[in-house]
Amino acid sequence: MSVASSGSSAGDGRPESPYRGNVDMPDDYHRAPRSPRSPSPLAQQDDSYDDLTPPHRSTQSGSVWITPSQRSNSGSIATNAKTALEELYKRIYGQDSIRCLLTQAKGALQVAHAVQRASKSSELTLYEYCLGLDFWAFHVDSRRNLFYLKSDWHIQFDADNWILLPSFAVLEAVRDFIQTVISARRRSAQAEIPSFFTKWNLENKSKYTFIPLSSIMRDPFMRLKPVSSPAASQAVPQWDLHFYPYHTLPDLECHVAPPFVAINGGRKLAGVDLDAITLDYCQLSDSRPTLKGWLEVLRKIWEILQSAKQDASKWEESKRGKRKRDEDDEDIERLTQSSQRTTRSKLRASQAPAPQKTANQQTSHRTSTAWKRKAHASLTGTTLTEYAVRHHNKRQKTSRFHNSVKRWAESIHG
């Protein structure tokens, strides 16, 4: 039952994403605050890869960061997310490594999520708050959250019938990290937050113990033996048979970040009788207190997360309000500049005599002008908020009314 965290080849320690490719980034890139619409420092790099932050889109003036409409999808995982996961597996596990974590089989594989794909937005905000991530930065299809399982084991994993248990030392590190982040956020919005990405590098692997939680997890299963050499890989595959409670299983080495595994396991242990689990799993009575202590720390991590719900909600409100104000200010400025260009164009056109228009023609012209203004904004990659559009239209209507009154007064007084 002794499991420890082990590192592989060093990575850059920064977030990665299902949206683009992989690239080294400046040390202060993820610490520096930025507007979701501010130009990306990676705008000109086709292979840029920024995992836990929103994707960016191309415009006529470059690339801008956009906020995804949701942080989890009800449909299938994006093709580029699957491709990125496959590339990661080959890089850190080996070329022939796309296999089920539990059985090492290749067939009927599915992509499993440590943090549930069906997580609500408020839950993801809570995890961001407690793990020191930026608001709206975590997407469940991050490679740090994904691993391969056979379809039958995937079903049982999502049905809360088994968990991956980190070592006791790793569990304590996760608990202490979360408590430190929460304390820092409560002290001040400007407090220095520990770096999630420095502590849990993408290409570091940890070892986990398979723990069944349900009585239906009693059937024996086969696991492929590891090959000792390239020549051995050409021989007939050898399989080991494992029986409940599966003490003969080796430690399961996986790149998924321990905090995400702890979130998965802690949620599954909420309200569960830990004594019953340890009694079933531990054949020797002297090992039961050890396992129960591990499970208690895992469940405590979940309780700490739940205790921060109110703080996370307030944090979300402050972040949403600031982002909304920033976007409105940017949109109003763009609309004002566009209106000034339109006014100058109209002044030049007014110098030449023009035929009088009927009321219907004037209405049609105003509608056409408004449509062109909105079309111009969208063609340059700008998406206007409803507030900015209403504010601008109100200002335009007021201006037209004042001009009409002025012309009426001039006509009366000759």
Sequence spans of domains, the chain: 119-140+163-226+237-320
- Per-residue pLDDT, 321: 72
Q: Scanning the structure block, which residue is given the tokens 């019938």?
A: 161
Task: Give 165-222 as a DSSP string.
Answer: E--HHHHHHHHHHHHHHHHHHHH-TTSPPPPHHHHS-TT-EEEEEEEE-STTTT--EE
Helix (H) / strand (E) containing 366: helix 359-379
- Per-residue pLDDT, 237: 75
- Per-residue pLDDT, 215: 82
- Per-residue pLDDT, 87: 96
Which residues are within 8 A (CB) of 119 and not within 5 positions of it... i.e. 6 or more apart? 72, 127, 140
Side chain identity at residue 30, one-letter code = H
- Per-residue pLDDT, 309: 98
- Per-residue pLDDT, 10: 36
Vertex 17: Cα angle to 11 and 21 (nearest 5)? 75
Q: Are 266 and 298 in contact (CB under 8 A)?
A: yes
d(CA 46, CA 23): 10
pLDDT (tens digit, 9 = 90+) per residue, 212-266? 998 888 899 999 988 765 555 556 778 999 999 999 999 999 999 999 999 999 9
pLDDT (tens digit, 9 = 90+) per residue, 167-193? 999 999 999 999 999 999 999 878 889
Residues lower than pLDDT 70 in the chain: 1-75, 228-235, 322-402, 405, 408-414
